[in-house]
Amino acid sequence: MYDVIILGSGPAGLTAAIYCARANKKTLVLAGDTLGGQTAEIARLENFPGFTGSGMEWIKLVQDQAVSFGSEIAYTSATNISWNDKFEYQITCDNAKTYSARAVILATGARARKLNIEGATDLVGRGVSYCATCDGFFYSGKRVLVIGGGNCALNDALYLSELAKDVTIVYRGSAFTRAENIVRDRVEKTRNIQTMFNTELNKIRTKPDSESGELIATLSDGSEIICDGVFVAIGHEANTDYLDETIARDTLGRIAQSDLPTGMYVAGDVESGIKMQVATAVGTGCTAAMDAIAYLNSKD
């Protein structure tokens, strides 16, 4: 049995692993399919103190630090969590294994919210993408749309502007009020980025007889745009589908610490009421770990 099992290998989960392992707690990180979650998709991480580089570069450093203190890492995801009246936890995973722990930290992060319009689902991987850094290469020299108006959408547009011929941001708001000033300024100064405010994407379809797979995007005013790809960045929802209905969640799947059973803690983008930033995730990972350590020490 482990002292602590941490679900998730993003900033929150790996920070928690560092603290728990340094406290001599037997620690296991269930990392999911790949290391780092959304952080691994950040092309340039520049708002975390003391580091500038890709998200993957940074998260590998954090992983190495966690492992150096004795944390174990298993690349698998939880499918179910159960516990007994002594609050001993059993975690069943998609690798057909079950792990036991005296305390659990939920740090499974969030996933991109899907675009719920005609054609969006059918065209995923064939013109519609939710990851600019993953798929941007395939649109070099082409015309793309970015849907959304927050930091994520604008950063995606900036990244794509270095690859694509033209980038058009389609945003239902009248201004980028949810994005940082420095990001907005960069977008305004980038010549091949255009913006359509007070506009929504209503439908996407493949252009008939297009040999290159061009798309026709129908907008809320009835106009149409020909493009090669659509990148969606309209927010996130928490990865908490592995939890049963005994654990309350908000409309985005997030969890409040007060709703969790004894010995279970939450950190990062899964936690309700926090800002979705790398720095915030690190802080909540530290808090969850210290609370878990105190709890375990009180039981020993």
What domain range is 96 assigned to?
A: 2-111+236-299
Both 172 and 261 in a single domain?
A: no
Both 102 and 132 in a single domain?
A: no
Both 105 and 240 in a single domain?
A: yes
Q: Tell me if 162 is assigned to some domain.
A: yes
What HEC string does the chain produce? Answer: CEEEEEECCCHHHHHHHHHHHHCCCCEEEECCCCCCHHHHHCCCECCCCCCCECHHHHHHHHHHHHHHCCCEEECCCEEEEEECCCCCEEEEECCCCEEEEEEEEECCCEEECCCCCECCCCCECCCEECCHHHHHHHHCCCEEEEECCCHHHHHHHHHHHCCCCEEEEECCCCCCCCCCHHHHHHHHHCCCEEEECCCCEEEEEECCCCCCCCEEEEECCCCEEEECEEEECCCEEECCCCCCCCCCCCCCCCECHHHCCCCEEECHHHECCCCCCHHHHHHHHHHHHHHHHHHHHHHC
Q: What's the pLDDT tens digit per position in 285-297?
A: 999 999 999 999 9
CATH number at residue 67: 3.50.50.60
- Of 232, 258, 274, the last residue of a domain is 232
Both 149 and 162 in a single domain?
A: yes
Both 80 and 145 in a single domain?
A: no
Domain count along the chain: 2
Q: What's the pLDDT tens digit per position in 20-36?
A: 999 999 999 999 999 99
- Of 217, 232, 247, the last residue of a domain is 232
pLDDT tier at 211 (50, 70, 90 boundaries)?
confident
